Amino acid sequence: MVSRPLVPSKKATMPTIKARKQANGSTRYTAVVRLRRGTTVLHQVSRTFTHRTAALSWAKHREVALEDPAELTRKQLSTPTLAELIRWYIETFETISRWQRSKQTHLKFLERHSLGKTVTNSSSLFHEIKGTAVTAARLYMRAFGAYRAAARLAVSGQLYETAVLRRGLVEHAVYAWACGHSQTHRDAWIARANGEP
């Protein structure tokens, strides 16, 4: 890794560009902007680019933005969005776990998706969905998970084994639809663990 400070160290913000060689031979550039007061880091943000000029440009823009005290206060007090958490996860664990291209693609898709703008100040990602739709949303997520698992098995040639997953997919989708359209079905689904009819 090569680090190149862009500004003298006496300034409060210090952008740095780190170059990393990838397994395929390409180079990725991570721009890191730190706002310091003395030896204490008040705020740090980073982003990875394929071109050094893009990383340099982004670092300079972030440096200028962080010079505004209101921006710094907003960054320190606000909770991260899902996209920011996904970016942190990618930058932290990508080199450690060495996952495959499909996981990388899905993470980047979620980071760019409108769901990435969701603020993660709750233990659940469903906190912004209206209360009557939470059960249906969770069931749709289960149906989607069953669909993905069945697709993976089918692609690998295990068609017979997908039967259970396909059944789960249909059941969860039907339950989700029913819970989304009927309070009676929603209450029955929630009470099922208590053995109530």
Per-residue pLDDT of 137-153, as tens digits, reads 888 888 888 888 888 88
Listed by start position, the domains of the chain span 2-78, 79-120, 131-194
Judged by average pLDDT, the poorest of 3-17, 48-62, 96-110 is 3-17
Tell me the β-bridge partners of 19. Answer: 2, 29
| N-term to C-term CA, the chain | 62
Mean pLDDT over residues 51-79, rounded?
75
The C-alpha angle with vertex 135 and arms to 187 and 140, in degrees rounded to 5, equals 135
Nearest to 32 by CA among 70, 58, 67: 58
**What is the torsion angle, in degrees rounded to the nearest 10, for the CA atoms of residue 157, residue 158, residue 163 and residue 167?**
-70
Class of domain 2-78: alpha beta
Q: What percent of the chain has pLDDT over 70?
A: 77
Q: What SS3 class is residue 112?
A: helix
Question: For strand 40-49 and strand 2-5, is the pairing parallel, antiparallel, or unpaired?
Answer: unpaired
Determine the pLDDT at residue 126.
Answer: 46
Check whether 7 has a pLDDT greater than 70.
no
Check whether 189 has a pLDDT greater than 60.
yes
Determine the pLDDT at residue 114.
Answer: 77
pLDDT tens-digit map of 91-134: 877 777 777 888 888 888 888 887 777 665 544 444 456 667 77
